[in-house]
Amino acid sequence: MLSADKRSELQYAFKLNHTYYFEYFDHEDQFLHSARRLIDDKHFIIVFGVLDHGREEKHKLLFFNQHYFPVPEIKGYLKKGSYFAFRSDLFKGYSLRNRLKDLGFLEYSMAESLTLVDNDHKLIANIFKLLVDETEMPHNETQSTIIGSYLNLLLYHMQRFYQRSMDSRVEEFSQLQLHFLNELHTLFDSQRMCMLAFPSLTSLSKKLCCTPRFLNDVSLRISESTAQYHIDNFIITIAKKLLAETDLSVAEIAERMNFEQPQSLTRLFKRKTQITPLDFRISII
């Protein structure tokens, strides 16, 4: 009879030989043990789980990958559930492989994920049932295509859920957008005519306790422009101010704005204005 450790190794060997894998779990440690190894093997993981939230059960659909797998946050969060793990080569030559890069909610944090209401929960449960049934079928050449279709269906529904959420939380997201713009403008010290820190999407989203992709999507929903667009425009506005109101060289201005290389400022300036910083300075003399 095989020992528990040997069975575990055989199960993991099976996972490594397949581009997809499905499993139920009734304890978070069981999920974390398997998921950590799958993540290290560059799998995406979609978790359809029940939160450990007292007597009332709440359902979540969570996405993890090699760039985002916050073990400390997961501990004490999931009560039970199921997960579907897959590598991107499951969709080799398939349009879904490119779609994964375009779906912003795949990069949201657990805090930004949706709680599924009754009808949404039933719909996702049905799609997961289709995935389960297909993974248990004998393997054949059409199986990956069928699983890809079910996964595509799942992602389309999730995209709709998030769009609906964005539409219903306009006031809340308007406040987040306002905080973002305020934080952006606090980075420039008008007395010393310099940036206190370089305005990056990563640092600003961290201050606002959200992910960069979530902040970008909220900004796009509220202002019809991404957060990165606002950041770039703010940088150009400050650069123009320093070019017009000081005798500093472009290199000195780049240093005051916390650019690592002066060429980075020149490239961004030209991309946004179609002219170089020096040409701009000459044009306003």
Q: Count structural domains, the chain.
A: 2
- Which of 168, 196, 220 is the last residue in one of the domains? 168
User: At 61, which CATH number?
Assistant: 2.60.120
Residue type, position 71, single letter: V
Q: 116 is written with which tokens?
A: 């599924």
Looking at the fold, whether 179 and 258 belong to one and the same domain comes out as yes
Looking at the fold, whether 29 and 159 belong to one and the same domain comes out as yes
Domain, as residue range, for 246: 171-283
Q: If you average pLDDT over residues 156-177, what whole number do you get?
A: 90
Q: What is the pTM of this model?
A: 0.80
Q: If you average pLDDT over residues 5-21, what whole number do you get?
A: 51
Three-point CA angle 27, 77, 166, nearest 5°: 130
Q: Give CA–CA dist 63/87, Å, rounded.
A: 13
Looking at the fold, whether 161 and 208 belong to one and the same domain comes out as no
Residue 248 has pLDDT above 80, yes or no: yes
User: At 265, which CATH number?
Assistant: 1.10.10.60
Residue 2 has pLDDT above 70, yes or no: no
- Which of 141, 168, 195 is the last residue in one of the domains? 168
- Which of 109, 143, 168 is the last residue in one of the domains? 168
Looking at the fold, whether 152 and 63 belong to one and the same domain comes out as yes
Looking at the fold, whether 272 and 142 belong to one and the same domain comes out as no
pLDDT, tens only, 52-84: 666 677 888 888 888 888 988 888 888 888 888
